[in-house]
C-alpha cells in the first residue's frame, strides 16, 4: 500500500482539479486522494493533495492564505469574469480617458485589505446543494452573497496595451476564499471599462510553494511529504513522549498541559518524528482534535 503523505502538484491549464486527483489515484494505486482547494481549469499552479490517511490534514491546509499571479484585462467583460466566457461588453474609446495610473492605483487600493466580495456566479460555491456553475449552465440566474475576504497584497508588476484593452500582470496575496476573477471584474467596473481575468497561477498555499511541486506526469510515491513534515508547515509543533502519544491515540487528555500551546492547535509529533495527530486546548488540558490513522503515521 502507498505511504500516506501530502503531494504538491503543479496543475497545467486545461485540467480540472478532479482530473489531477484522478491521475494521482491511478499513479499511486489508491482511491484515498483529495485536495485542499480547487483551481479552475484555465488556472495553473499549486494543488495540495492528500494521500491515504494524510487526507485528514487537508482540513488544516485549505484555510491557509494563498498567493496568485494573474493577468487582468481591462476593457472587456465576459459572462464568467475570465477568458473562458463570452465577451459581453467592450470599452468605448472615450471611456479610456479616465483610466489613468492614479485611478488604477486607487482602484487597486480600494480592493486591498479587508473587503466584501461577491464571487463570480460561475464558481464552485454550492447553492442549495448544487454548484453555482451547474445552475448557470442550466439557465438559472445565480447571484451569490457577498463574503468577507482579506487581500493583503495587490500589486501591478507590468502592463501592456492592446487594441481596445489594457493587460495588467499582478500578484495577489489573499485569504482563503478570495476570487481573483472577482478582483478583475470589480477593478474594471470601478474604472468604468470593465475587466476580466485572462491568466491565473497559484504559486503558494500557506508555506507550500509551487517551486517544490511535481508535474502531473511526475507523481510518484517518493514525492510525498510525510504527514509530520507537512503538518509542521501549517501548524505549531508540540513534541510528545511515547506515553503522551499513547494517551492521545486512546482519546485521553493531557491534563494541565494547555500552556504548552502558543496557539489554538498544534501538531503532536512523537519521539520517532511521527505525527500522532492535532491537539487543541480544552480548558487547562489538551485533547486530540484529530488522530492520524495507525497506518498513516
Query: Which residues are catalytic, by number?
Result: 40
For residue 265, give the C-alpha cell: 492547535
Give DSSP secondary structure letters for 139-203: T----PPPEEEEEEEEEEEEEEEETTEEEEEEEEEE-TT--HHHHHHHHHHHHTS-EEEEEEEEE
All three cell numbers of 15, joined, read 485540467
Angle made by CA atoms 81, 18, 39, in degrees to the nearest 5:
35
Geometric angle at alpha carbon 240, from 236 and 245, rounded to 5°: 115
Work out the number of other CB atoms within 10 angstroms of the CB of residue 145. 9
168 burial level (CB within 10 Å; 0-12, 13-18, 19+): buried
The single residue listed with the C-alpha cell 491515540 is 249
d(CA 72, CA 64): 24
Q: Using DSSP, state whether 248 is helix, strand or coil.
A: helix
Tracing cell 511541486 back to the chain, one arrives at 213
44-51 and 5-11 strand pairing: antiparallel
- C-alpha 113/C-alpha 104 separation (Å) is 16
Amino acid at each position: 500500500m502507498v505511504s500516506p503523505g501530502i503531494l504538491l502538484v503543479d496543475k497545467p491549464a486545461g485540467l480540472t482539479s478532479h482530473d489531477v486527483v484522478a491521475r494521482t489515484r491511478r499513479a499511486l494505486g489508491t482511491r484515498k486522494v483529495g485536495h485542499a482547494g480547487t483551481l479552475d481549469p484555465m488556472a495553473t499552479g499549486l494543488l495540495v493533495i492528500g494521500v491515504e490517511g494524510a487526507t485528514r490534514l487537508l482540513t488544516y491546509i485549505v484555510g491557509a492564505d494563498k498567493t496568485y499571479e494573474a493577468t487582468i484585462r481591462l476593457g472587456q467583460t465576459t459572462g464568467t469574469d475570465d477568458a473562458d466566457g463570452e465577451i459581453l461588453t467592450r470599452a468605448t474609446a472615450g471611456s479610456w480617458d479616465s483610466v489613468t495610473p492614479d485611478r488604477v492605483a486607487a482602484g487597486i487600493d480600494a480592493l486591498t485589505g479587508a473587503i466584501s466580495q461577491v464571487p463570480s456566479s460561475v464558481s464552485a460555491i454550492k447553492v442549495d446543494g448544487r454548484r453555482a456553475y451547474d445552475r448557470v449552465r442550466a439557465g438559472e440566474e445565480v447571484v451569490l452573497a457577498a463574503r468577507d475576504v482579506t487581500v493583503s497584497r495587490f500589486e501591478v508588476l507590468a502592463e501592456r496595451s492592446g487594441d481596445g484593452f489594457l493587460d495588467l500582470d499582478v500578484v495577489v496575496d489573499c485569504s482563503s476564499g478570495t476570487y481573483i476573477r472577482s478582483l478583475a471584474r470589480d477593478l474594471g467596473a470601478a474604472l468604468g471599462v470593465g475587466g476580466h481575468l485572462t491568466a491565473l497561477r497559484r504559486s503558494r498555499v500557506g508555506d507550500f510553494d509551487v517551486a517544490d511541486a511535481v508535474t502531473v506526469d511526475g507523481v510518484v510515491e517518493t514525492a510525498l511529504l510525510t504527514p509530520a513534515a507537512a503538518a509542521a508547515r501549517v501548524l505549531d509543533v508540540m513534541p510528545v513522549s511515547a506515553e503522551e502519544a499513547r494517551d492521545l491515540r486512546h482519546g485521553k487528555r493531557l491534563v494541565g498541559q494547555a500552556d504548552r500551546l502558543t496557539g489554538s492547535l498544534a501538531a503532536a509529533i512523537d519521539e520517532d518524528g511521527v505525527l500522532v495527530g492535532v491537539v487543541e486546548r480544552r480548558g487547562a488540558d489538551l485533547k486530540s482534535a484529530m488522530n492520524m490513522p495507525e497506518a498513516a503515521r
